[in-house]
């Protein structure tokens, strides 16, 4: 009788272990699927991005514990009113001032700024 009960307990533990393993595998498969789906979507959106010219609305320069050296942040707004920002090194925006134009790419409601020295050639 004891052997029978022991075998039932072993089978129960084995079933729980198998179920848990299947749940973990399912989680990884679903997370990889979501990752691939979002990556493909981001790539497709970036290819549909429209080049625009944005106006710099704010410049901030300071240090960061995450990036070595002096860094800055550029905030800009395009004609449609979308606002974007980008962390840059100071030499990437040499000569830029508030009100200057900067290149950007608009994709949906996202505005991605492109680092370039000011003033940019408007041609």
Whether residue 58 sits in one domain with residue 43? no
For residues 31 and 41, membership in a common domain is answered with yes
Residue 18 lies in a domain: yes
Examine residue 120 and state whether it is found in any structural domain, yes or no.
no
Compute CA 94 distance to the chain's CA centroid, rounded to the nearest angstrom: 26
**Residue 38 or 78, more confident:** 78
Chain centroid to CA 67: 17
Structural domain including 63 reads 50-113
pLDDT of residue 68: 66
What local confidence, expressed as pLDDT, does residue 69 receive?
A: 66
Q: Within this chain, do residues 89 and 58 fall inside the same structural domain, yes or no? A: yes
Q: What are the backbone dihedrals phi and psi of residue 97, each rounded to the nearest 5 degrees, phi first?
A: -135, 165
- The tokens describing 28, both together, are 């990884």
Say how far apart CA 35 and CA 44 lie, in whole Å. Answer: 14
112, 104 Cβ separation under 8 angstroms: yes
Spatial separation of the C-alpha atoms in residues 114 and 7, rounded to whole Å:
67
Report the range of poorest mean pLDDT among 21-25, 92-96, 110-114: 92-96
Which pLDDT score is estimated for 57?
Answer: 92
Task: Please state, in angstroms and rounded to a whole number, the distance separating the CA atoms of residues 55 and 97.
Answer: 10
Q: Judge if 68 and 109 occupy the same domain.
A: yes
Dist. CA 95–CA 103, nearest whole Å: 15
Q: Number of structural domains, the chain?
A: 2
Domain shared by 55 and 23, yes or no: no
């Amino acid at each position: 009788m004891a052997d029978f009960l022991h075998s039932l307990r072993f089978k129960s533990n084995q079933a729980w272990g198998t179920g848990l393993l299947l749940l973990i595998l399912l989680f990884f498969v679903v997370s990889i699927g979501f990752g691939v789906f979002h990556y493909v979507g981001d790539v497709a959106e970036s290819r549909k991005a429209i080049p625009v010219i944005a106006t710099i609305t704010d410049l901030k320069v300071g240090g960061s514990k995450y990036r070595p050296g002096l860094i800055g942040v550029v905030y800009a707004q395009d004609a449609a009113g979308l606002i974007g920002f980008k962390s840059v090194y100071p030499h990437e925006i040499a000569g830029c001032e508030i009100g200057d134009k900067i290149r950007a790419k608009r994709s949906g409601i996202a505005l991605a700024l492109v680092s370039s020295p000011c003033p940019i050639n408007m041609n």
